[in-house]
Structure 1
Amino acid sequence: MSEIFFWKGWNFRERVILFGCFSGLLCLIMAVFVVDFNQVSWLYDWNVTAFLNKIPEEVYSKHSNLIESSVNTDVLVLLQKVHGTFSSLSSIYTVVWSLAVYFLLAVCVSVFTFLNRFWFIVCAGLLILLVTFSGVGNVALFGLSSQVIISSISIILISLAYYCHEVRSTVSFYRRLLLFCAVFFLIGTVIHVFSIHESALLEVAYQSYWLGIILSAVFSLYVGHEIVYAILVVSTGTASEGVSKGNGLHFIVFSLLYLLNVALVFMRNSNYIDWDIYYFNPYLLLGLSSVLGVWGLRDREGLYHRVMPFRPLALVVYLSMAVVTFGTILYLMIQSNDPALEAIEDAIVFGHIGMGGLFFIYILINFITLLLKGLPIYRVAFKEDNFPYATSKLAGVIVVAAFFFASNYAPFNQAVSGYFNTVADFNLTQGDRDAAKEYYRRGAIYGNILAQSNTNHRSNYMYAQLLEKDEQKMVWMESATKKNPTEQSYASLGVLYEQSSLFFDAVFTYQAGLEQFPDSWALNNNLGLLYERIQLSDSADYYLNQNTNAVFWQKDVLSANKLAFWALSPDRKSQGMLQKSGRLDHQANWMANQVGRDSVDASMGLIEEMSLQLNLFSYAYLKNLGLVCAKNRATDFLSVIDPFLEYSGNDAFRNELSVTKAMNLYATGDVSNAFVLMNDTFEKSSQALPDVKMLLGKWSMELNAPKLAARYFESAREYAYPLATADLAQAYAMIGQRSVAQYLVGKELNELDSSKTSLRSQLEVLVESLDKEPIVWNHNTEVFEQGEDLLKHAAEAQNKGLVEDARILYGRLGVNNPFFEKGVLQAAKFFNQKGNDKDRAYEILRQSIGVNEYSPELIMAYIDQCLSMGLISYAEGTVIRLIDVLDAEAYQRYELDFEARKSQVESELNSWD
């Protein structure tokens, strides 16, 4: 480092190459620090699983002051659990990285063609070794064996290198580099065209793993002493004899502190200690050593100048090695290949302990006297005396080997596990999940003689993700949390425990994860929802409201779950202002809160361009929208629901949404279509829907049609609907069949469990009321008031001569509410007389008796309409229905009158003939 700006005398091309390579190296070092510090991952991803919680909400009850069944509907609350998954990495990362590795190989081959014969032969042997590890032997080129392919490529490269070394020795370095790059390109082209493998070049790119690992490990060992040398330069750089004798002591102290911390890093990585102190980051050590090594290489030129000059050959090889090393580290980080990264970290730590420690000893043995005198010995540091520098490097290699063997070959095992991860990734890119699963399994167990997990994260996590059975997934995912865990591994393991109803294990897993990742949005979210599930609302509220590292959509998921938590809380009706957004989950959960509140916000904020194919999100949104609209009598739901009900792929959701639509029709006054839709839903459903019959019965009671209500209640009672007997008894009492009502309630009391004392008391009060008091049931007066108002407007339009307006109003009056009999009859009368549209009148009456089946007025009007239109058979078939609605005497009188009118109509029809 005696010359900081050693490039001053270089030409322009050399400076461009130097600063270009050096800038690239600095950028890579910074990228590695950023990715490592922020724990950025391109592989691990989040997947959200939604599920529904149902809050029973009572509808259409509180009509009787005695006892009454309740009809409930489900308010849907969307809850979203988060678990880890993975993203298939784009092969472009591997391709770019492999190109960099092979470019370095071309640089190295170009450089060793300048060396003397001895070093040329040594490098040629190393080249054969690298070609063997490159994976080109696996491409099945021309159907040849791997040995033949490796031998052929090695012969081609060594022959060209020999040609440049012996025959055309005057060719410049840049032309040699271009030549070998072209040769690599041609070899790649031949592999692509003639290999029997479909993705041969991509396979070679993934197989470059070993080249990157070997070159990175060699470079990490090579620069292991640079920091100790830098301490020497800094501490003795301004020293002169007799001026600052303490500088030598500073070198010793600072070097020992540095080496001690590196040793502690090794002990922590080997699980010997777990102290809460500052440890050097291995990538920081390597980055600092790589930068300092540029000047260290310059200062050591006297040791190797006979082999190759520093300018530019040695520096080009050094910077290329540095760039590839950090490129490999960055690639492995992108790949999240933690066992491979650990192997490189071990090489860094071993190198800095072994090479750095032996260099420290080398300085002390050779220069201790000059060092204690305070002389600037960095100037002569590589002019060894007693202990040769090459010997110190050899001793450093021995120390590194000792660490390697002492660790039970852990770095090698980790490197092999990382290789299996890379091969598995390649198989995933080819769509072969079975092969990928097998290689991840090998990566997970490599180095364990019992074929159990070696607890490296990537292999265990990916293997667990590709397994099918939850009990197997749990075993391997638990191993993934042992070493280098991620938030995704803890979240996935917790969800697996929940799915197996191991709730306490899930709680402990989430809590263990939060100890490692206290700001994890996913773990806080899952733990909060789990506490809500096991009814620990205070804990759920605590974790759902933690400040987390959530970003963008993750914050939206948390917000939606908070809305869900408020809806599920017992005191949700006292919640303050609830915020909405345009997301379906937000809207669904916001409206779930609205249904449970005393006052309902009518501004729903409809979602536009929603897919007709429903999922849990859109289903919950539509269902809750329907409940809110029914509560405030809005028409928003009715305006959007029909396309979803008609879509063939929504069978799983059709019943619930149809009932909700019927409730909205009824709430907005379209009683006829509400009844038709409910009956149609019941008939078409493949499952029993007694609540539909109960709802129809309660509507009928509200509309003062107890005989019709009794029929619906009887149907529900057959399905053992709770308290259907109480409603049925009151319906019978209202139509004058008190004895039947008393019998039914008495039978219910006899069969009632003796422990249900409160219910028994209520039923006994009902029995007494049936015997003494008239039954009072609250009616839906609003729908009749709407009918009266509509009739008034229709009559006014008719009186003013506004025929078209009158037709529209009477048309609505005739079909909206068949229980408003006066309106239906007036509508039929209008179309028979003023409108001269007997078909329309007929259709109105036909539809009305189809809903209000026990109305004598409507049935008689329909019979009269049939007679007036000559539909005698229809009239005869309808008369029999009066048996159920008229007493015997009244029916006999009507039957005599009907026969007389029928004869008259038949006579008139015969006279036309």
Structure 2
Amino acid sequence: MNEYIKFWRAWDLKDKAPLFATAFIALLLAAYAGFAWFNGLENILEWNTVSEMHQKVINETIFGDHKLSFSASTPLWYIKEHYLPSLVEVNRNAYYLLLIGGLLGLVTTLSGTARLKGLWFLVAAIFLAGVLVSMRLENVLDANNSYGFLVSFIVFGGFYYVSNLFNQKLKLYQTLSIWLIIVALFLFVIQAVSQINTPFISISAYSLIAFLAITLVFIFLISHEIFAGLVWLVSKNARKGQSSLSQLFIISAVYLANVILIYLENTRIIENSTYVVPPLLLYFTSAILGLWGFRKLLDQQQLFSFNRSGVWIYIGLAIVSSSCIAFIYATANDPLQEFIEDYIAITQLAVGFTFFIYILINYFQLFKQGLDVQKVMYKSPYSRLILTRVASIFLIILLFASKNYYSYYQVNAGYDNAIADFYLEEGDLKAAETFYKSSTHYDLYNHKANVTLASLALSQKDRINAAFFFKQAIFKNPSAYAYAGLSASLETEDMYFDALFSLQEGLKTFPNEHRLLTDLAFLQQKSNLTDSVLYYLDLAKKTCTDCEVENTNFLAFWIENSKPERLEEMTAELVSVKSKSQSSEANKKAVARLLNKPITLEVFEISKDSVLDVSRAANLFNSVASTQPESVVNIDPLLFRKLQQKEGNEPYFEELSLTYAQNQYYRGNKIEGLKQLTLLGNNSLSKNKPLYNQNLGLWLLNEGVYTQAIERLNLAGDSASATILSKPSFKAELEAKVADQAKSILKEKITKENFEAIKNKAPLNPIVIATLSDYLSSTGNDVEAYNLPFYVAELNPDAALLWKTYIKKAIKLAQFDYASNGLEKLKKLVGPSEYQEFAELIAKSKDSQSSDGFQ
């Protein structure tokens, strides 16, 4: 066999290069076909993860000392996720691959047949014409005539004739190079003159039928090669003088039994079995063995030269066939998948059986004598190989006839699917829908057409029709995608139990599909079936591979349903696992907040358009809302303004305002945080106005602002906290705490460098602010010294020291009207003697300025 495989060793290097290149392309296409077969529906569908942000109000301690602590209601955010199938996408690459691979294989075959005369040349010319006719170039040109075909055939056919005429002078590499130039020019001209958006997809879709015909011919020609290989194996290991018939019968029985099982499985007479060889593997094996077998056939029957013509014909047909099969699987065109698998199984069975009879009739005695039969396998002394081919054709027709034209309808359904894909990609949805529906007329339950029609219905928000088509899609070839799509469509139409039953039915077919388990758990949450939800969430976690969604939902379940001590136990393992999912990170931070643990968020990345998705939003909100001082959350305050101003973030405007206030208060400028929360508390349109006022009250209490804190707590409806704070003893304790705080902070000498840091430690403490104002005056910044107590007094209007400081700074700037306004504020806060003292100070300062001005 080795001498047959290495036939190219004596070739010129210029002939070896195209041989290896085309052989590599054929292998590459076969590998892609296997990949597309393995990927299945993922070639046109994918799973989308739908995230929903939920809110839970928790109590966090905001103010506390050794005697009392006060908690405020504050929201945390967590994410629940489930799966939905995406809308069907046309696999454009598959169409390009079919077109380029088909044309490359065709011209490679023509390069071989151009060196032949008579019938072989004519048959190839007919195939060329058939391919060009099938392309329907008039569609691309938007014409009602056949000029496109005529011009193309003149160019292609003309060179084919010339290459045949000068076949002795033209080297193969020259012929093939010219063919490639012609194909490139053909495609370039088509693109240039096209009147439609996707000319190549149009040509590819319509020419599918011609490439499929070539594929069927090639599969038939190689369908005996596995059995021929077995004959070679038996005869090579035979001992001369000892019969090898028993080995032949055993190995033939095993082979034919497997082929029969494949046929029975494909025709659904028996159920699918993992022990049956996939038909595609039979094709690949036959195609590889066929390179050896085809040369042996040509040499023994002396039909024509394998080196000059045969190898190019064979590789060209292999390229076309592999392109076509890869296309069928890459577009998930299940009617054609079923047809091509049936055809492979039937041809293997019919040709294998007839070839077995052919071998017995012609070489029974040779096997009995232990001779090397493979050397003369195609030199039949009795029954000629052509009779075997004819008999196998009749047997194939008989087996297909038993299906009552079903295979014919499948071919039509698959062809309509391809044309519908073209119209879908072209943007003509009406035509696409027409052809998909035509496909269902030929094969009612074909998955490709039904799931795409469901996708089209969903794109039009027509969920009733979507459910109908999803239901048809799962009737014959069920998929997890269709079950999930059916359930989601029914649930959206408030058909809850139908949606639930659909998922349960899907799990009977796909018991380990973690996405259906996740969707079922998600659906059951709406009926508060807590035990069932946990059961299916746990099953989904056990069966998933990339478990980001499942982990996110598991955390969400315990966030909703667990007590703190149980929460830590149930989530410890998941919280410790590193995650790439923003949803999972958001839920981990929600757990940390529930457990009063520090949070780390050093970098927060958003999309280029600055539009938040729910997962990133929840992650950001939980991070900045943390009250834990050990938390590391480095967020640029300008980010919140940027996000608020970005169109598309309107649903999060209030949450962004709240978290901006929290970020500023806990980790930035406390005054800014207090002002922002004050705006939310005062806004009548705020969704959670009581919550904002309660938090603001405790923030103010934290800063020693007594009266305003009580007012905010009353506004929030937290009368219990307000009553406790109203006790005279608490006010005295708070004032003492403020004094102690000021004493502690002012131990540090005020400098230009630490001024802002000292101010932010106690931004409403009147003692600290008065001292800082005096420092500004000492440095000559009288205007800033005046502004500082004035702006602080907006949030702490009951601090007499602030107004006293303000009056003094206003007098220093000769702003006596402002000083008088400050005096009116002070009048409510101090006794008559203090009030009189400041009134006289203003009058004296005003008189002094008047005297100076007079002089």
TM class by smaller structure: 0.7 to 0.9
Change (3 A) 1:249 1:392: same
Task: Tell me the equivalent position of 1:401.
Answer: 397
For residues 535 and 790 of structure 2, the distance between their equivalents in structure 1, rounded to whole angstroms, comes to 60
Q: Say whether residues 1:342 and 2:338 are aligned partners.
A: yes
Task: Tell me the equivalent position of 1:579.
Answer: 576
Q: Which has the higher mean CA deviation after the structures are superposed, 527-536 or 394-403?
A: 527-536
For residues 733 and 523 of structure 2, the distance between their equivalents in structure 1, rounded to whole angstroms, comes to 43
Identify the match of residue 788 of structure 1 among 728, 736, 743: 743
Task: Tell me the equivalent position of 1:243.
Answer: 242
Q: CA deviation at 1:58?
A: 0.6
Change (3 A) 1:823 1:223: closer
Conservation of the 8 A alpha-carbon contact between 2:521 and 2:534: no
Q: Deviations over 1:615-674 (max 9, x none)?
A: 43443233222233x22276x547623432355215543433443444455557976444
Task: Tell me the equivalent position of 2:792.
Answer: 848
Structure 1: which amino acid aligns with 2:587? N
Identify the match of residue 262 of structure 1 among 240, 259, 262: 259
Structure 1: which amino acid aligns with 2:637? I
Structure 2: which amino acid aligns with 1:852? N
Q: Deviations over 1:129-181 (max 9, x none)?
A: 332123334332xx75343433444455555555666x657545736555555
* Structure with max Cα Rg: 1
Conservation of the 8 A alpha-carbon contact between 2:445 and 2:476: no
Q: Say whether residues 1:549 and 2:549 are aligned partners.
A: no
Task: Tell me the equivalent position of 2:137.
Answer: 136
Q: CA deviation at 1:446?
A: 1.0
Q: Say whether residues 1:632 and 2:636 are aligned partners.
A: no
Q: Secondary structure at the match of 2:146?
A: helix
Conservation of the 8 A alpha-carbon contact between 2:335 and 2:414: yes
Task: Tell me the equivalent position of 1:443.
Answer: 436
Identify the match of residue 586 of structure 2 among 585, 588, 592: 588
Q: Secondary structure at the match of 1:54?
A: strand
Structure 2: which amino acid aligns with 1:53? H
Q: Deviations over 1:252-299 (max 9, x none)?
A: 454344334323323322322215462122122122222333343344
TM-score normalised to structure 2 length: 0.81
Q: Secondary structure at the match of 1:55?
A: strand
Q: CA deviation at 1:785?
A: 3.8
Conservation of the 8 A alpha-carbon contact between 1:528 and 1:542: no
For residues 706 and 5 of structure 1, the distance between their equivalents in structure 2, rounded to whole angstroms, comes to 96
Change (3 A) 1:779 1:15: same
Q: Say whether residues 1:353 and 2:322 are aligned partners.
A: no
Conservation of the 8 A alpha-carbon contact between 1:713 and 1:725: yes
Q: CA deviation at 1:874?
A: 3.4
Q: Deviations over 1:729-775 (max 9, x none)?
A: 556x547xxxxxxxxxxxxxxxxxxxxxxxxxxxxxxxxxxxxxx88
When the two chains are superposed, the root-mean-square deviation of aligned CA atoms in Å is: 4.8
Q: Secondary structure at the match of 1:216?
A: helix
Q: Secondary structure at the match of 1:280?
A: coil
After TM superposition, the structure 1 = structure 2 runs for residues 67-466 of structure 1, keeping only pairs within 5 Å, are 71-85=72-86, 94-113=95-114, 115-117=116-118, 120-121=121-122, 123-140=124-141, 145-155=144-154, 157-158=156-157, 161=160, 170-172=168-170, 174=172, 180-181=179-180, 183-197=182-196, 200-201=199-200, 203-235=202-234, 243-244=242-243, 247-274=244-271, 276=273, 278-301=275-298, 305=302, 308-363=304-359, 382=378, 389-426=385-422, 432-435=426-429, 438-439=431-432, 442-443=435-436, 446-448=439-441, 459=452, 463=456, 466=459
Q: Secondary structure at the match of 1:132?
A: helix
For residues 299 and 785 of structure 2, the distance between their equivalents in structure 1, rounded to whole angstroms, comes to 115
Conservation of the 8 A alpha-carbon contact between 1:64 and 1:777: no
Q: Secondary structure at the match of 1:48?
A: strand
Q: CA deviation at 1:349?
A: 1.6
Change (3 A) 1:396 1:817: same
Q: Which has the higher mean CA deviation after the structures are superposed, 59-68 or 874-883?
A: 59-68
For residues 829 and 296 of structure 1, the distance between their equivalents in structure 2, rounded to whole angstroms, comes to 103
Change (3 A) 1:458 1:372: farther
Q: Deviations over 1:762-805 (max 9, x none)?
A: xxxxxxxxxxxx88999598765432212343xxx4xxxxxxx3
Change (3 A) 1:706 1:6: closer
Structure 2: which amino acid aligns with 1:579? S
What 5-or-longer segments of structure 2 have no aligned partner?
none
Q: Deviations over 1:406-465 (max 9, x none)?
A: 334444444444444444554566xx4443x75366336515369776566874676467
Structure 1: which amino acid aligns with 2:618? A
TM-score normalised to structure 1 length: 0.77
Q: What percentage of aligned pairs have identical amino acids?
A: 20
Change (3 A) 1:276 1:107: closer
For residues 856 and 16 of structure 1, the distance between their equivalents in structure 2, rounded to whole angstroms, comes to 96
Change (3 A) 1:477 1:173: farther
Identify the match of residue 622 of structure 1 among 592, 595, 620: 620
Structure 2: which amino acid aligns with 1:712? R
What count of residue pairs does the alignment treat as equivalent?
837
For residues 658 and 8 of structure 2, the distance between their equivalents in structure 1, rounded to whole angstroms, comes to 86
Change (3 A) 1:58 1:111: same
Task: Tell me the equivalent position of 1:874.
Answer: 818
Change (3 A) 1:697 1:538: same
For residues 404 and 310 of structure 1, the distance between their equivalents in structure 2, rounded to whole angstroms, comes to 33
Q: Secondary structure at the match of 2:242?
A: coil
Conservation of the 8 A alpha-carbon contact between 2:109 and 2:314: no
Conservation of the 8 A alpha-carbon contact between 1:528 and 1:541: yes
Q: Secondary structure at the match of 1:72?
A: strand
For residues 733 and 486 of structure 2, the distance between their equivalents in structure 1, rounded to whole angstroms, comes to 54
Q: CA deviation at 1:821?
A: 3.6
After TM superposition, the structure 1 = structure 2 runs for residues 473-552 of structure 1, keeping only pairs within 5 Å, are 473-482=466-475, 488-489=481-482, 522=515, 534=528, 535-536=530-531, 538-539=534-535, 542-543=538-539, 545-546=541-542, 548-550=544-546
For residues 4 and 637 of structure 1, the distance between their equivalents in structure 2, rounded to whole angstroms, comes to 71
Q: Deviations over 1:204-258 (max 9, x none)?
A: 34544233212111111222233334444444566689732xx435534543443
Task: Tell me the equivalent position of 1:693.
Answer: 693
Task: Tell me the equivalent position of 1:769.
Answer: none
Q: CA deviation at 1:591?
A: 2.5
Change (3 A) 1:652 1:645: farther
